[in-house]
Amino acid sequence: MARAAGYRLRGYDSIGSTNSEAIEAATAGDLGGIWFAARQQTAGRGRRGRQWESPHGNLAATLLIVPEADPTLAATLGFVAGVSLNRALSAILPGGLVKIGIDGADALEGKSRIALKWPNDVLADGAKLAGILLEASKLPDGRHAIAIGFGVNVVAAPEGLPYPATSLADLGVSLSAEDVFEALGDAWVETFGLWNDGRGIGDVLKHWRASAAGIGAPVAVNQNGDVLRGIFETIDDAGRLIVRAEDNRRIAITAGDVHFGATASARS
């Protein structure tokens, strides 16, 4: 599907950063529609400049696109990415072993195993299975190139993280990085078409909410050291996290580190 839609691929056994490679290609004049995929990253990064470790055999993949949409809609491509990855996992994971969540609160109660965590993570049994990172670069003609990076723990999860992490191997699933990437490439074509240069973001968000972790559950959002606690109500049509605070205010969150469960309830 991806080839038929005109997407190209550069594959690597090991690379510093697929996002960096994509940004360099955009700077050199590539018009987008190209994937950079590797079995290992040695200098990957996550949100806010954090290091993203990628042992050999995991998937690191970045899609470079130059969308025609209004730049203000570019951030919503993170939801396109999340829905695409969720659809890809749903297509390739054994249904009897790994259940894709359709309700975030259920995911917290153990009724489903995989769910989307706002703004850009995929969880399995409450532990991080994958992360997504968007980076933008302004081109000389005024357009913006977007590098959409995916990191999926296929064979192993990084160690020493301040949060739980897991891998497909930990879930008892024997797949390769290539298997995951093939499914992701095809799922992206479908979901990006639904997005329709930003005009279909409402439909994309409906799909995202259907697999969201934590809706209706306690949440704590850390914003540069300030912690907001309340109930995660929904994602609004702009993609913001809506929290019903402890004083009953409805607050829209555009950025922050989100915690559920016992972490959300802890006061220390």
pLDDT digits (tens, 9 = 90+) for 153-201: 999 998 887 788 999 999 999 999 999 999 999 999 999 999 999 999 9
Residue 72 neighbours by CB distance under 10 Å: 9
Q: How far apart are CA 142 and CA 85, in angstroms?
A: 30
Q: Where in the chain is the domain with CATH 3.30.930.10?
A: 8-210
Q: What is the mean pLDDT of the chain?
A: 87
Q: Which residue in the block uniquely carries the two structure tokens 């703004």?
A: 119
pLDDT of residue 104: 37
pLDDT of residue 255: 87
Residue 47 has pLDDT above 80, yes or no: no
Q: Rounded mean pLDDT of 215-230? A: 90
Instruction: Using pLDDT thresholds of 50, 70 and 90, give the confidence band for residue 74.
Output: confident
Q: Rounded mean pLDDT of 26-40? A: 95
Range 165-204 burial, b when 16+ CB lie within 10 A, else e: bbbbbbbebebebebbbbbbbbbbbebbebbeebebbeeb
Higher pLDDT, residue 113 or 237: 237
Residue 48 has pLDDT above 70, yes or no: no
Q: Where in the chain is the domain with CATH 2.30.30.100?
A: 218-265
Q: How far apart are CA 17 and CA 10, in angstroms?
A: 13
Q: What percent of the chain has pLDDT over 70?
A: 87
pTM of the model: 0.88
Homologous superfamily (CATH) of 8-210 is Bira Bifunctional Protein; Domain 2 (3.30.930.10)
Most confident residue range from 57-61, 251-255, 263-267: 57-61
pLDDT of residue 199: 92
Instruction: For domain 218-265, say whether CATH 2.30.30.100 is its number.
Output: yes
On whether the CB atoms of residues 99 and 86 are closer than 8 A, the answer is no
